[in-house]
Structure 1
């Protein structure tokens, strides 16, 4: 079911051997370009036609009526509501602590630089609705935006034929719990274009946003890449992935279950075990088909685990395993080794790290308090997951007195002349009757 990669004794860069899903966003660009241009020029008319073509739903209105959002919450299973409320509570605790405060540095007497943190004015939040339903993604996108102080939030999610052309009721209910009533029944690349260019008129109008966040399929990722610059984006999220660094102390039942938990997302989802224990590898290989056969999405899981993006990687030691997982830079990384906390402290590249046997990725997906919108495809070596910082902009505010400028004016003029930008120097000279104190 799952392949093995033996890196024991190897001193080569492991990145050339590790399994990884192929996601050709560049090839998808040309397919989403006409869609985005159509939305740009024809607005709602284009959105209605594209949605009917791809989702099989004829929209009367792109915006979900507030009554439908309220009704979804009233009809929500009480257990699901309680779970969502606890997820929101924990996420708020964590994300509230992330808010940066303004800071003023006194550079010289009379000269200060203040760094102000200002929230993005308007944000569009994308919630996928393909093979699974993700009310948890509403929580993970909305909570940090609210904690950052974003004034205007809009959520969009693909319409569902089974629910009268509205997004899934649990998604609407999550919006209601979070106080978001601007919700649209639009998915795919066309939803990103709607956020970028705006669409509609009157009460149903979607105004353009400054930033789009949230995971989606390859078409959403391609639209984000295409429209980056018109809008800000969080990331081009690819298929989900889990890596587990484990030794002989790990429970193979737990390890197999955790690999399966991510594989059920998508046939392209990646599940990778890195271990120095052949016995653990063999035990996990026995467990995977047994557990997979008992799950609802066994066909999808089987494709994922058998794909080129998944595998069991054998290493000589936990030390080598650390090198491998740092090179892999997984979206989700579990550490199931002896002294897991010490090993986890040495991880440098991961979207999120889950330490020990009682912190599975599933916990982070829903109720750890952490955010589950994380970098994929190795991007964790240079990018972070969604947080309050994703919705803030740092602005430097410079304030100098006449004397403070005079004290440094000669240096400014010297550097301006060195760069052959005399106008820069003249802007300083003009303030001192064209004479500048000598440095």
Structure 2
């Protein structure tokens, strides 16, 4: 991490991982194997890569009971409160079907229908993520999805983290499977003896999961191709250096490819944050991961003005944006591109990760320029409804037929004409 002045040719180093040709080939092979061999392939891959020799894929009631015994009671209470906040936020996103009529008797509208079945991928590996369970499952439930199947890679003993199991059980998830990686995505998309196929797959994962989601798109829908976590802190001279450094490191500890950037109007703050980052890194339990992230994808940019700083933020289009300025609300209208916007010093990014209510599944790698965070909308589909009256067809039929003939579609025109003649 170093301090740089913003220039017209500002080059942003992004941690984009599109996968190697070898990885893409491996994913295709895994998907084909799962399609051909079903559960057999899942067992083999789980033993090969997770080190777990399973006798069944579905989590049992006994395993869930054991998870409750393992997890501290206060954490269960926290899960419940977080779930209430998340559900309350997402309930405000619910859309209703609507219909309109006109003087001819024509009725037009839109019918909102929840998806029948959704697969939720919960990552494992470097850490356990019960928050991912809450953030992916709750909006699906609010949308009205009736079947939710969750997959997650087990540890070497064949277990899933207690927090993940408890979070899923608190939400009433009945299908929890101990399988991860590209093979889990393939199972959700095409089905096996144990796992019935779904219509959409959501949730983050490693590069193999991302590549698999890309490959099965079309067979099923997906939420996005998630990249490594990102944070940009927009700060002026009123920000606290130790708080800014802590916020940058909160993303750096996720992954070696995570990106943490400070954009500030104050050279003094930039210098103080650089010192604080080095100081706080020394005591982090995950300091090797955080250090690699900061060294590769950490940056501090000093702007001449707040306007230039905001322009840089919009260029970055970050997953998470913190606005630590004297008047953060006045900056909000200027922000065009960000997955989630955290205003003020007390709205540190982990507030959104776990508890406030908005979803933490957000666009990465600059895709906030055209996409949004996970919401209830991701779990419904919209059907156009048309009831055209006889009067309306008499008024507009010749225009419709003319339009069809302009496009060379005579049968379209005749489908209208045959009704007009009657």
Q: Distance in 2 between matches of 1:426 and 1:239?
A: 54
Aligned-pair distance for 1:55? 0.8
- In structure 1, the residue matched to 2:54 is 59
Aligned residues: 421
Between stretches 143-152 and 344-353, larger displacement belongs to: 344-353
1:306-337 alpha-carbon deviations (Å, 9 max, x no partner): 01x22111211111111111111100000001
Aligned-pair distance for 1:26? 6.0
Q: Distance in 1 between matches of 2:381 and 2:154?
A: 33
Q: Distance in 1 between matches of 2:310 and 2:27?
A: 39
Q: Distance in 2 between matches of 1:251 and 1:374?
A: 26
- In structure 2, the residue matched to 1:218 is 207
Q: Is the 8 A contact 1:315 1:321 kept in 2?
A: yes
- In structure 2, the residue matched to 1:199 is 192
Determine which of 415, 418, 426 is the counterpart of 2:406: 418
Task: Report matched runs for 1:97-136 at 5 Å.
Answer: 97-136=92-131
Q: Is the 8 A contact 2:398 2:417 kept in 1?
A: no
Unaligned runs of 5+ in 1: 435-439
In the superposition, the TM-score normalised over structure 1's length comes to 0.94
Aligned-pair distance for 1:143? 0.5
Task: Report matched runs for 1:240-389 at 5 Å.
Answer: 240-307=229-296, 309-389=297-377
Between stretches 399-408 and 281-290, larger displacement belongs to: 399-408
Q: Is the 8 A contact 1:106 1:112 kept in 2?
A: yes
Unaligned runs of 5+ in 2: none
SS in 1 for 2:334: coil
Q: Is the 8 A contact 1:20 1:310 kept in 2?
A: no
Q: Distance in 1 between matches of 2:180 and 2:25?
A: 18
Q: Distance in 2 between matches of 1:189 and 1:133?
A: 18
Q: Distance in 2 between matches of 1:4 and 1:108?
A: 66
SS in 1 for 2:234: strand
- In structure 2, the residue matched to 1:150 is 145
Q: Is the 8 A contact 1:23 1:238 kept in 2?
A: yes
- In structure 1, the residue matched to 2:167 is 174
Between stretches 368-377 and 63-72, larger displacement belongs to: 63-72
Q: Is the 8 A contact 1:247 1:337 kept in 2?
A: yes
1:87 equivalenced with 2:121 (yes/no): no
- In structure 2, the residue matched to 1:437 is none
SS in 1 for 2:213: helix
Q: Distance in 2 between matches of 1:351 and 1:56?
A: 36
In the superposition, the TM-score normalised over structure 2's length comes to 0.97
- RMSD across aligned C-alpha pairs, in angstroms? 1.2
